[in-house]
Structure 1
Amino acid sequence: MNIKFVVVGKLKEKYFKQGIAEYAKRLSRFCKFSIVEVPDEKAPENLSQAEMDQVMAAEGDRILSKIKDREYVFALAILGKERSSEEFAKELKDLTTYGHSDITFVIGGSLGLTPAVLKRANTQISFGRFTLPHQLMRLVLTEQVYRAFMINEGSPYHK
């Protein structure tokens, strides 16, 4: 199984890098895990709606260029479906049971994801209505993917 994150922007914070590296190491016994970073679009603070759409479109094109046809895609979106850790674990297990061995998670930039990226996604997932920095979301998502594997293994990690 391949788990890939396609994310906008570089991770600069050492503490996030360390946390993600730890979970990536733990995940290595379950899957091939990778993170693909696409450049964020440089933009001034006060953007018009047209400029925001332009920034999102550029980032969206970069994201879509990193997704292959056969990949099952989860787009992280505030309005996506919320799941419990157990539901998420079952969903991942079911996907692999039904032949989806390439699973991709997309985390957009600060403005979010374009309709084109959301349309390409097989499903949208939400971690609640909080707005979180996309750098922190990478760490949270990595931990939740690891937790899903541990739940599916019957490990006490989840307790």
Structure 2
Amino acid sequence: MRLRVVAVGRPRLAYARLGVEEYAGRIGRYAPLELLFVREGEALLPKAEGHLKVVLDERGKLFTTEGLYRLFQGWEGQRVAFLVGGAEGHPEEVRKRADLLLALSPLTLQHELALLVLLEQLYRLFTLKAGHPYHR
């Protein structure tokens, strides 16, 4: 699986920037990860061309870790792009073109925190696949 995470804006908050760096590095031990930053929501779709598009949206589908892992297993061999909107969320066109609208929580998360939570969950899925106890 080849993962691409495309986010609007680089994290500016120190905790988010450090967390994103930490989990991106951890994920890199298991699979190639491209972490791309764009200036505006309209630039997300071109960066996800040719990928299965998973759009983070609080109105999306909620999964348990185990449920997301089952979905994750089905993506083996595919190119998957996770799209993280900015402070204003996603343009409607991004939501319409999503293969999956994914909610990380029923709560609205600040976009930098959403990026960090996404990367932590991706790392958790890779450790689950590898049989490590981290996922518990």
Q: TM-score, normalised by structure 2?
A: 0.92
Whole-Å separation in 2 of the counterparts to 1:60 and 1:135: 14
The amino acid of 2:85's aligned partner reads G
Q: Structure 1: 5+ residue runs without aligned partners?
A: 40-58
Partner AA of 1:91 in structure 2: L
Matched, 1:136 2:113: yes
Checking the alignment, whether the CA contact within 8 Å between 1:86 and 1:151 is kept in structure 2 is: no
1:90 & 1:150 partners in 2: Cα distance?
14
Quick check: 1:35 aligned with 2:15? no
- Runs of 4+ in structure 1 over 2 Å off: none
What is the CA–CA distance in structure 1 between the aligned matches of 2:41 and 2:68, rounded to whole Å?
A: 25
**Max Rg structure:** 1
| Alignment-derived partner of residue 80 in structure 1 | 60
Q: Deviations over 1:100-121 (max 9, x none)?
A: 1x11101111121122111221
Identity within the alignment, %? 33
Other-structure match for 1:103: 80
State the 1:65 CA deviation.
2.0
Q: Give the residue type in structure 1 aligned to 2:22.
A: E
SS in structure 2 opposite 1:79? Answer: strand
Preserved contact between residue 90 and residue 152 of structure 1 (Cα < 8 Å): no
CA distance, structure 2, for counterparts of residue 154 and residue 22 of structure 1: 21
TM-score normalised over the length of structure 1: 0.80
CA RMSD of aligned residues (A): 1.3
Preserved CA contact (<8 Å) 1:60 1:116:
no
Q: Paired residue for 1:62?
A: 43
Q: Which residue in 2 is equivalent to 1:25?
A: 25
Which residue type is aligned with residue 6 of structure 1? Answer: V
Q: In the TM superposition, what is the alpha-carbon distance from 1:95 to its structure 2 partner?
A: 1.1
Matched residues, number: 136
